[in-house]
């Protein structure tokens, strides 16, 4: 069976390659998403003292029942004491 494509629409279909456009080359954004880290529009920024921060960690450790949060708090408190040379 020989196909006659002169009277058919099959010969007129334009093929589209899969490698064209954004499929093969996704758009890339310039710069890092961390560029805006720490940028604020506030006029006054108060940084907590390390002692106040550790006291807040202790308070949170006493109040929480979440295991993952307790692990994080313990690690932060331990890191503070290691820096201070207490542990």
Give the predicted TM-score (pTM) of the model. 0.50
Q: How many C-alpha atoms does 59 have within 13 Å on its Cβ side?
A: 6
Q: State residue 60's pLDDT score.
A: 96
Model confidence pLDDT, tens digit, residues 7-49: 666 666 666 655 555 555 566 666 666 777 777 788 888 888 9
Q: What is the mean pLDDT of residues 45-71?
A: 93
Q: What are the domain boundaries of the chain?
A: 50-87
Q: What is the mean pLDDT of residues 54-80?
A: 95
d(CA 87, CA 80) in angstroms, rounded, equals: 9
Q: State residue 57's pLDDT score.
A: 96
């Amino acid at each position: 069976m020989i196909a006659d494509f002169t009277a058919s629409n099959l010969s007129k279909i334009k093929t589209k390659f899969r490698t064209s456009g954004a499929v093969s080359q996704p758009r890339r954004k310039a710069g890092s998403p961390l560029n805006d880290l720490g940028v604020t529009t506030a006029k006054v920024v108060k940084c907590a003292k390390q002692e106040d921060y550790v006291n807040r960690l202790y308070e949170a450790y006493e109040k929480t029942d979440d295991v993952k949060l307790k692990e994080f708090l313990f690690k932060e408190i331990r890191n503070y004491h290691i820096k201070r040379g207490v542990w």
